[in-house]
Chain A
């Protein structure tokens, strides 16, 4: 099995008296989708931010390609091939798809002493890269605001892949999407995996995660409840592990009791 590209070893993170992460280990290998599951407040965000260089861990270490790494900033992390696609996607709705694709990393072309934005290259590349991901653009100059939620997600992912991401951290990429749009994004995740990219897929939707995931790690109250390969666990077990199972049964019992005790 391939070596993990990035690895967290027994990482803990505290905010004052709050234990956000305790002794969590997590890794992702090239060409796999590792799902990070957990309810709100389980520590998913802290884990992502630790992985993407926003926070430095208080205990434990981060390894990139087997070597201990210390991220000074998110830009630093990006340079080592780890790209995070946050929920806000870092897109500007009124700007064109192509300009968004190259925002902050504009391709320039020289005309004598003048350097200007290479519109043609930007349009062509954005169009081709999205086409390769299965998104057929009407026009690379259309504003991002005219794209659907799923298409925007795909644009953000395609951009990260184009600029050399080895590991993609996707923060709840399907949570705000309808069924069809979500399936487009899930397909894109599988495609990125086929290109040899390691994907960390954060979700609280077990159904989405189970379709594309190779391994699953569950976080609960800042602790990892274990990592399972797809062969070791089925969907229902996963659902039960995630808050859903027991708590829903309890809720159901409570509701039936309440219904019985209320005189009709």
Chain B
């Protein structure tokens, strides 16, 4: 069943029902603002709390306490007056705060006084040889299936990469009785020293104890190879083996499933298409929006909360959602704002939630060889463009990602650069001896998700609209 928005105008429209969006929409609606929450997925939760309302994994210890926090957020939202629409793909947002959303194959248009973008993160591209083979997926993909359908890896399974999610996923797979043959840890040895100055904050954060116990749980059952410096997948039309180098020694192991993960990066497409200024983040190695302390962006009326504002994790996302919503309440209904937790309280909560982040960012900063591929490794999965193709184009004059489109169509396939954008920027920056900031990113435009011409054609038109294009 598809449901169009009930109104044309809202005080606040929140986009994305992950930790930040759930918290923002509940805060805004509880304060009495007319609030619409639009979300692309089947149910609430985003990625972290994926399938929180419907998961068949009912033994709470298996997904862990951090997951079930999401149930309280959903309950709070449902108790509020917020209007919630799932399977709603926002394909346009502009500086007038006009929003176009595709719901069940038809587009609807709403206008907001304030927009809170909570579009979250996606996994950083992991462009190794063979990463497009069937049988190679992201760790997040396996976790999505585990949470929403209780599916676990069955064949010979290798997990490769680095970062907290990798260990969490491994622990969850093992708890559900799934199979993991080997974990290949790509964390650079030098990162341990670089992260040392930030160790105190991390050791005194909740991440430390949880992370340590999870790593122990996994290492007791699975062979873990650390210091992996090269990684590739091979097979004829299907993954057959994974090859890696650790400690200078190459090894090739048979595999049916390879799960890749090297952190997450902000999902910038909608924000960039709205004209919001982004800058290259040299630590997190991604584009992050330029925001003030309330999450307000360079476009008046649009705030960004959650990992889309720069990676901070789920706890920080919830607080950022509340901060952005409180700012909206202050602007639209100042009398009510006094009843909400003060900004000072929220900022203390945020500092607590962000504790230890610098350590994690530094320790798990992915190595150059796993971000900037060479030779015939595919960079753009949609248009099947290799690293060599990109470098050849640079050699004959392509200056940046937007020129490169004309040479190779990179970023012009259906994913609209989500899986190649960062790689293209870094690859071109390296080839041209410039910074990623100087090289820039794809110029993103609506529709930020593909919609059919039939859907556009069915959009209600005024007489003036028709006259503008009809002759005679």
Do chains A and B interact in one complex?
no
